[in-house]
Structure 1
Amino acid sequence: MTASQAGRRAPRSAFVPSPVFVGILALTLVSGWMTWTTFGNVKVDVFLLVICGWLLSLCLHEYAHAIVAYFSGDHEVADRGYLRLNPLKYTHPLLSIVLPIVAVVLGGIGLPGGAVWVNHEHIRSKARQSLISLAGPLTNVVFALALAVPFLVGLGPQVEDGTLTGSAEHIEFWAALALLAVLQITASVLNLVPVPGLDGGNILQPWLSPPYQRAYNLFAPYGFILLFVLLWQSEINRFFFTFVYWIAEAIGVEPGLSALGFELMRFWSNN
């Protein structure tokens, strides 16, 4: 691609949300209604709401990277379809979609995943390169805060010291919402850890000296695997969730409610 091609503006159609994203959004809304009304098997409803809501946040996370990259000079992201919020266009569907869903189902962890590819040759500013990497985690932070609003304003159930003290009406919906909020917190924290290859590391990478950048690039392909393995270590996992639940409580989300959401989501379990 020539410099003139990279510098051209994308057509409006490049910004139109894809049918795949619209479908995920529709499924999220429908499963939310099903959970609110306890339609059919409410545990299946919770599962669909959490998974669809998580997929929605994954799309927005990667879109944030792409749109900031576009306005920072890399217009190739439009040609790759990244501006249409289509997760099927990601460079690593297994890491970007399948593995994060598995992590949610098995461990209630919002794992980050490799997805959109940005051509940094078109990004001349170190600050803009860092901002591109920061845009994704900031989306998770905003998502977490938005999900916490109903709890902060008192719309959700009242919980004190892990015990439900108010009405249990629509408890399944609120538990799913609390779990989604906690997933966004886990994603925010993990994405900001300065591990090579992840957003936190990529924020710092432009500012490293050439020798350190070479070392960074050497370890970057293995950063995600290393993080995944570490999180399954009991002591690290316990410390991580203690920190996550501390943040959740600070923004009004009761950890016990999210734990209920996790139990309900695993509809195949006997719990």
Structure 2
Amino acid sequence: MTSATARSDRRISPVFLGIAAVTAVSGWAVWTDFAGQPGFATFLFVTAAWVVSLCLHEYAHARTALHSGDISIGAKGYLTLNPLKYTHALLSVVLPVLFVIMGGIGLPGGAVFIERGRIRGRWRHSLISAAGPLTNVLFALVCTAPFWLDGLDGVPVPFRHALGFLALLQVTAAILNSVPVPGLDGYGVIEPWLSHPVRRAVEPIAPFGLIAVFGLLWVPEVNAAFFDAVDALLRSLGVSDFDTYCGLDAYRFWQGANPVCAVNG
């Protein structure tokens, strides 16, 4: 019975498989221009792929915690990649998707609940927190691989734009979640190395860290500096500002296609 339960704890959820299927089908629709209107297909593809990356982000936290000593992870359902099993499904999935729709920002979501008392060693605690952003980095490298490997020959322009925008979301998520602000993974990396009084003092403001970061991004000067850095990083990976801009334009299909992107597409 124990081994059977352990296997079920690790079985990939049909919910995640369904999301992955939507990603694949909508990606095919963007690639083939199946409906002649790539905007809606781009919206489905990027949104579904973004949710897949959120699931992988949380899975990375959970899997690292499991191997670090928290054997309760499996029973919570985190290893099934089911977003409905997260302790903060609203923060982990719903709000990040809304942020993408509203501002084209890959804002990170809430983390899975880990029983830190089961884990020994500061390095292990830091690695658990770092595992999520590192997953976004890996996802960004996969999205941008056709660009920095000069493999764009034969890739349809709408699909290239969609990949560019998806890469932007992964880069913004990786950067923002690495900021050492309470409530984000960046703080989780350094928290084990802080003194107990400092951690106690910071604990009450942890739930507001994500909101504070999002609020700062609405400051024009902060927003401009942040996206200048993101664009520069993407350009170093071969993704042009035009690709990400037109990807965002196609994603927001309800606003109508931008003539510049339509002509160049």
Bin of the TM-score, shorter chain as denominator length: over 0.9
Q: Deviations over 1:27-65 (max 9, x none)?
A: 101011000011112110100111011001000000000
**Counterpart in the other structure of 1:125:** 121
**Counterpart in the other structure of 1:241:** 227
**Counterpart in the other structure of 1:150:** 146
1:46-195 alignment to 2 at 5 Å? Answer: 46-156=42-152, 170-195=156-181
Q: Is the 8 A contact 1:10 1:78 kept in 2?
A: no
**CA separation of 1:9 and 1:61: change in aligned 2, threshold 3 A:** farther
Question: What's the offset of the Cα at 1:139?
Answer: 0.3
Question: What's the offset of the Cα at 1:10?
Answer: 6.5
Moved over 6 A (4+): none
Question: What's the offset of the Cα at 1:266?
Answer: 0.5
User: What is the TM-score normalised by the length of structure 1?
Assistant: 0.91
Identity of aligned residues (%): 50
Q: Deviations over 1:123-172 (max 9, x none)?
A: 11111000000000000001101111111122227xxxxxxxxx8x6111
Provide the C-alpha distance between the structure 2 equivalents of 1:147 and 1:27, rounded to a whole number of angstroms. 17
**Counterpart in the other structure of 1:29:** 24
**Counterpart in the other structure of 2:6:** 11
Q: Secondary structure at the match of 1:253?
A: coil
Question: CA RMSD for the aligned pairs?
Answer: 1.7
Q: Is the 8 A contact 1:90 1:96 kept in 2?
A: yes
Q: Deviations over 1:229-248 (max 9, x none)?
A: 11111111111100101110
- Which one-letter code corresponds to 1:260 in the other structure? C
Unpaired runs of 5+ residues, structure 2, are 259-265
- Which one-letter code corresponds to 1:129 in the other structure? H
- Which one-letter code corresponds to 2:44 in the other structure? L
Unpaired runs of 5+ residues, structure 1, are 158-166
Provide the C-alpha distance between the structure 1 equivalents of 2:115 and 2:177, rounded to a whole number of angstroms. 20
1:252 to 238, 245, 259: 238
Provide the C-alpha distance between the structure 1 equivalents of 2:202 and 2:188, rounded to a whole number of angstroms. 9
Q: Deviations over 1:187-213 (max 9, x none)?
A: 110011100110001111111101101
Provide the C-alpha distance between the structure 1 equivalents of 2:242 and 2:152, rounded to a whole number of angstroms. 13
Q: Secondary structure at the match of 2:197?
A: helix
- Which one-letter code corresponds to 2:26 in the other structure? S
Question: What's the offset of the Cα at 1:254?
Answer: 1.3
User: What is the TM-score normalised by the length of structure 2?
Assistant: 0.93
Between 146-155 and 234-243, report the one with greater CA deviation. 146-155
